[in-house]
Structures are given as C-alpha cells and as structure tokens.
C-alpha cells in the first residue's frame, strides 16, 4: 500500500453524530488507498463555541478515539466567518482575536489520539471586509492598516503555540461574496449588499500580506476556487480597463494598479497553488465556475459558483490533475470541500464524485 504524505479530509459538523459517521464512512475508499483520513470540523456559529456545545461535540467524537489506528480519523477546526457585521480583523480586531482564541481553545481539547501528523490547526478568514464607501484607492493606506491585522495574527500564532495549535488564514475570492444574490437577507444595516463588499487583503499570490503572515508564523488555507475566482476578477478589471473603465473597475473590485501588472496566472494555476504552499498548509480542493460581473460596469450582473465538484467548473483539467498528483505527496491537509444540496448532505453525491475523481488521478 502506498504511504501518502498528505492527509485527506472532508468537512463535518461534530454537533451531529450522524454527520460524523456519514462523512467518516465516505472516506473509506481513501483509507484503502493508503491515505490518513480526517474530518475538518466546521464551527458554524458563535454558539458552537460555548462550553456546553463544545462538550457535546467532544462526546460525539469520543467513539472514534476507540477505533484502530487505521480507522481512526484525525481532526482539525474551521472557524466561522460569521457574524459578518462583527468578525473583522480590520474594523474590530479585539473582538476578532478573542473570537478565534475560542476556537483555538476548543481545538486544544480535541483528543490527542485524533491529532493530525501535520499538526492540530484552526483555519479562518481575515474577514477584513469593507464597503464601497470605506474603500481607499491607496495601497500605502492599506499597508499601514495591515499592521494592526498582522499584530493580531501574531498574537493568535503565539496563543495557539501555547496549546499546540497552528493557525491558517484562508484565501478569498474577489468579490468575497460574489456568489451571493442581492436580496434583503444579504444586506448590512446600512443597506450595503454583501456582494458589494471587498477585502483589501484577499491573499493574491503576489501580495505582500502573504509574506507578512508567514513571517509571524501563520499558515495558509489555499482554497482552489477562491484563488481561481480572485485571479479571474483581476483579469475582469484588466478587460474593463481596456474599455476605459479602469478607475471604476479597480474601485468596484477593490484592487490596485500593481495587481493589474501580473499576467493571467489561471493558465498555470497549479504553479500558483504549489508556489504558495508550505508544509502543514491546508488545501480546499474544489472547482469554480463563472465570474462576478457588476451591472454598473458591464450592464449585466453575474455571479460565480464556489465549491463546484472537481472537473465540473472552469479550472483547467490539466491543472487540477497536476495539483492532485503532486498534492498527495506533500505534507499538507487536503480537504474535499464541495457544495451539497441541503437534502443531499447524507448521501453527499458531489463529495463522493470528487473523491472518486481524486483517487482516479493518482
């Protein structure tokens, strides 16, 4: 049996015994192929971090501790990106640091027997979202503003180190909620639609914020579809620039002149992801489809789809295949994170199909 360096995960909600069982069983074909398999435990909301809820989740995990080494899953945590109006390392860094510390404390309680070889971890978004009215077209302004964000991440790295927990910051699409329809349910109190929010630091591969996060000890959670969509958005701004709409487009998508100087990296997407990856990092494995176009610029409004099943979106097949073949030989966490319809969670057809795609490429 081949010994894979990468660990292979699927998301699961530890609050539900049935979900843990279903998702663990789903990974049996991967275990037969020599993978150490695991569950990325998704913390859905702040209440999941209350002591009573944490105890319930730990109780639900307890039966898996008793399984054999070959059958026992390893686990790590994914922190929620809600509440959107509060969790924000730019606007409310104190709350945000405390909030992630709660997840780190939870992760430190996970059974020792279920710790990954690549390290116990908590992944999360910076959630540094700003409205169009708050956007400043000055990279120096955001470079200065990032000092506070960087300091908080450094504090979280140090806090996690005391408990043996690593942290990883997730890459984000542009626009971060460009997959969300404009409706009253997805508006801030000031009326801003989620899809109009931007992030000064989406972790584009050429950006300094990645270097700074690495320097303070943070890992990365590289979400394939997020990064691919972000690169596509930069290309969209380039196209609009050739039509004389450059300034409006840069403001709408919240990117800088420097971003437009880079070539279209989507054709060599595998090089992008592999170049960003370091040991212990996390990959969210998925496909992407479409682009978020803004009506005021293109006279059409479109949305992207994230978490698309492998091979069903826009990421070139050759790039996906290379990432899968090379990724399994890296000491990283590979999470099959694809969308499932609410009434199909138990059967998880898209996750199963993506797993089969992955195993067939080895």
Per the DSSP assignment, residues forming a β-bridge with 289 are 305
Check residue 187 and give left, alpha or beta (phi > 0: left; psi -120 to 50: alpha): beta
SS3 call for 221: strand
Q: Residue 348: name the closest of 309, 304, 306 by CA.
A: 309
- Here the tokens at position 43 are 């913390």
Provide φ and ψ at 165, rounded to 5°: -120, 125
Is 60 exceeded by the pLDDT of residue 250? yes
- Structure tokens given for 325: 């073949």
Q: Which residues have a Cβ under 8 Å from the Cβ of 138 and sit 6 or more positions away? A: none
Residues 8-30: tens digit of each pLDDT: 999 999 999 999 999 999 999 99
Helix 51-65 to helix 17-26 angle (10° resolution) is 40
Please give the pLDDT value at position 2.
64
A 10 A CB-CB count for 112 gives 8
Q: What is the pLDDT of residue 245?
A: 96
Listing DSSP states for 273-331 in one string gives HHHH--TT-EEEE-EEE---B-HHHHSS-B--EEEEPTTSSSS-HHHHHHHHHHHTTSS
Tokens 């996060």 sit on residue: 213
The confidence band for 1, taking pLDDT boundaries of 50, 70 and 90, is low
Residue appearing with tokens 């499932």: 340
277 has a pLDDT exceeding 70: yes
Say what the pLDDT of residue 362 is.
Answer: 87
| In this structure, CATH architecture of domain 7-360 | Alpha-Beta Barrel (3.20)
For the segment 237-248, the average pLDDT, to the nearest whole number, is 96
User: Which among 157, 162, 159, 65 has a CA at the least distance from the CA of 112?
Assistant: 65
Indicate the domain borders of the chain. Answer: 7-360
CA dist., res. 306 & res. 337, Å (int): 10
- Predicted pLDDT of residue 344: 85
Q: CA gyration radius for the chain?
A: 20
For the chain, what is the mean pLDDT? 96
Tens of pLDDT, residues 108-166: 999 999 999 999 999 999 999 999 999 999 999 999 999 999 999 999 999 999 999 99
Adjacent-strand bridge partners of 169: 124, 220
pLDDT of 101 strictly over 80: yes
């Amino acid at each position: 049996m081949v010994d894979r360096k990468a660990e292979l995960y699927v998301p699961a909600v530890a609050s539900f015994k049935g979900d843990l069982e279903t998702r663990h069983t789903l990974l049996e074909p991967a275990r037969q192929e020599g993978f150490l398999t695991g569950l990325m435990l998704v913390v859905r909301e702040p209440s999941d971090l209350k002591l009573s809820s944490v105890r319930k989740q730990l109780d639900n995990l307890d039966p898996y501790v008793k399984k054999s080494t070959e059958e026992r899953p390893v686990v790590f945590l994914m922190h929620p990106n809600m509440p959107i109006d509060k969790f924000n390392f730019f606007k409310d860094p104190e709350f945000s640091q405390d909030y992630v510390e709660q997840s780190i404390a939870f992760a430190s309680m996970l059974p020792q027997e279920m710790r990954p070889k690549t390290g116990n971890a908590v992944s999360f978004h910076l959630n540094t979202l700003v409205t169009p009215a708050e956007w400043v077209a000055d990279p120096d302004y955001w470079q200065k503003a990032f000092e506070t964000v960087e300091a908080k991440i450094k504090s979280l790295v140090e806090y996690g180190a005391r408990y043996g927990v690593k942290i990883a910051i997730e890459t984000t699409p542009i626009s971060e909620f460009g997959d969300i329809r404009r409706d009253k349910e997805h508006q801030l109190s000031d009326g801003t639609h989620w899809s109009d929010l931007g992030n000064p630091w989406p972790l584009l591969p050429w950006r300094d914020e990645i270097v700074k996060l690495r320097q303070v000890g943070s890992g990365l959670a590289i979400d394939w579809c997020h990064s691919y969509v972000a690169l596509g958005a930069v290309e969209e701004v380039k196209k609009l620039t050739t039509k004389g709409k450059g300034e409006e487009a840069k403001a709408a998508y919240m990117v800088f002149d420097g971003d437009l100087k880079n070539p279209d990296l989507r054709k060599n997407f595998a090089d992008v992801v592999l170049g960003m990856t370091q040991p212990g990092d996390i990959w969210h494995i998925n496909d992407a489809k479409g682009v978020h176009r803004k009506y005021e610029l293109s006279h059409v409004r479109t949305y992207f789809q994230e978490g698309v099943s492998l091979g069903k979106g826009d990421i070139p097949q050759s790039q996906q295949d290379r990432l899968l073949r090379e990724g399994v030989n890296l000491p990283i966490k590979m999470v099959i994170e694809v969308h499932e319809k609410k009434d199909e969670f138990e059967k998880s057809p898209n996750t199963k199909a993506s797993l089969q795609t992955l195993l067939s490429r080895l």
